[in-house]
A and B are shown apart, each in its own frame.
Chain A
Amino acid sequence: MSGFFNGLARFRRGPWELVASVLIALGVVMLMQPFFLVLYTYSFIVTLIGTVMFIITSHFPE
């Protein structure tokens, strides 16, 4: 776990890509879930942040 946070602090690709992937997946689940309208409302912004973050962090060093 400390390796993950160290990676985040040192701008390493692995942990940042993981965060971005989790955000994208969360956004898609929020978009398609049938339970809360408020989650649907904020789904796009979560997916967008995740996608942009993924594009940026995929250029970070390993």
Chain B
Amino acid sequence: MTFTPIDKAARATPPAMARRIRGLSDRTIAWIFVAPSIFLLLAVNIFPLIWTIRLSFTNFRVNRPNNDVEWVGLRNYQRILTDEGTWATMQATAHFLIWTIVLQVLIGFALAFLINKKFRGNDLWTTIIVFPMMLSPAVVGNFWTFLYQPQIGLFNYVVAFFTGADPASFSMIGDVMLAPWAIVIADTWMWTPFVMLICLAGLRSIPNSIYEAAECDRASKWRQFWTITIPMVLPFLMLAVLFRGIENFKMFDLVVQLTGGGPGNTTTLTSIDLKREAFEKWRTGYSSAYAVILFVTVFGLASIYVKALNKVKER
């Protein structure tokens, strides 16, 4: 008589435990398997969120653990929402968010459209284009600071070549007007390949038969692009925008390495400001309220976006 591994495991189980397990329903066993994950999720995600909301109503400072913690009600929220400095960081974030998404979607889609055509060296070009995405944001920030150097930076020389301006006459990182664009360019350079890959997946999922049918109906290339390509790639594009939107709302490392939030506060994004409040000024209660405001904003935006995405997919 041969025993399967399951039989062997059943025979190896002590009789007392076997009796107990036999008495459990499938539902209970399923809960036993799922419980560790749920516990971990509650401990790592839900508990810190609830704790942060609680702290946001207090004047707690984590560097003064022995001080009395006072309940301050909505005072932290009131301070944040009437502070002009915080308002300016929101505007800097909006500028960064809007322009990076617009540029990354346009360039990413254009690159995907080109890469989707069959040509010699297609795979090599895909690898070269995807390369920036594989780098660490800190590394990208570091070498873009060199590229932006007014004296030796390649970026200034390229701009000078096309415009005829003196390369040393402007500083992308040091100028109040140019610094917000410096972080937009660096982030676009780094993350456009990500959008390109998602768009490429969308383009490759379109069956050729649809284009063939359109050819039979004598539809022009332009019409095929607007009535076949764009509608079928749209869910993928929306997904890319969702991912990049959430990521860029939290953007920290690249910008810190590149500009450090300066000059002045022109490139201080909300995540940088939040980190300063929490870990430089040690205003834990205040920064908790700040984090709650950002969380509600991102959560709200993501909710309506996912709803729109589902509607597009249903069409």
- Scoring B91, B297, B301 by chain A CB atoms within 10 A of each residue's CB, the highest score goes to B297
Contact of B82 among A41, A48, A51 (CB under 8 A): A41
Interface residues of B in 285-315 (CB under 8 A from A): 293, 296-297, 299-301, 303-304, 307
B80 CB to nearest A CB, Å: 8
Residues of A within 8 A of B296 (CB): 44, 47-48, 51
Contacts A37-B87, A44-B77, A47-B297: A32 and B303 contacting too (C-beta < 8 A)? no
Q: Which residues of A contact B90 (CB under 8 A)?
A: 31-32, 40
A37-B82, A41-B82, A43-B81 given as contacts; is B300 within 8 A of A50 (CB)?
yes
Cα–Cα distance between A17 and B304 once the two chains are bound (Å): 9
| A33 CA to B93 CA, complexed, in Å | 11
CA distance A48 to B90 in the complex (A): 17
A26-B300 Cα distance, complex, nearest whole Å: 11
> For residue A21, which residue of chain B has the nearest CB?
B304
B301 pairs with A28, CB closer than 8 A: yes
Q: How large is the interface on B (under 10, 10 to 19, 20 to 34, 35 or more residues)?
A: 10 to 19
Measured CA separation A37–B302 after assembly (Å): 25
A-B contact count (CB 8 A): 50
Give complex CA distance A52, B59 in Å. 26
B81 near A54 with CB under 8 A, answer: no
A-side contacts of B307, CB under 8 Å: 17, 21
Report whether B299 and A44 are in contact in the complex, using a CB–CB cutoff of 8 Å. Answer: no
**Complex interface: chain A residues within 8 A of B91 (CB):** 32-34
Asked whether any CB of chain A lies closer than 8 Å to the CB of B84, the reply is yes
* A24 in contact with B300 (CB, 8 Å): yes
| A50 to B299 CA separation, bound complex (whole angstroms) | 11
A24 & B303 in contact (Cβ 8 Å cutoff) = yes
- A54 shortest CB reach to chain B, Å: 5
Give A60 to B117 CA distance when docked, in angstroms: 46
Contact present for B304 and A27 (CB under 8 Å) = no
A42 to B304, CA, bound (A): 20
Q: Given that A27-B297, A32-B94 are known contacts, is A51 also in contact with B81, CB under 8 Å in the complex?
A: no
B304 touches which of A25, A32, A34 (Cβ 8 Å): A25
Residues in A whose Cβ lies below 8 Å from that of B304: 20-21, 24-25, 54
Across-interface contacts of B77 in A (CB, < 8 A): 44
The reply to whether A51 and B87 contact each other, CB–CB distance below 8 Å, is no
Chain A interfacial positions (CB closer than 8 Å to B): 17, 20-21, 24-25, 27-28, 31-34, 37, 40-44, 47-48, 50-51, 54-55
Provide 11 A-B residue pairs closer than 8 Å at the C-beta atoms, listed in order of the A residue: A20-B304, A24-B304, A32-B90, A33-B91, A41-B82, A44-B77, A44-B293, A44-B296, A47-B300, A54-B300, A55-B303
Interface residues of B (CB under 8 A from A): 77, 81-82, 84, 87, 90-91, 93-94, 293, 296-297, 299-301, 303-304, 307
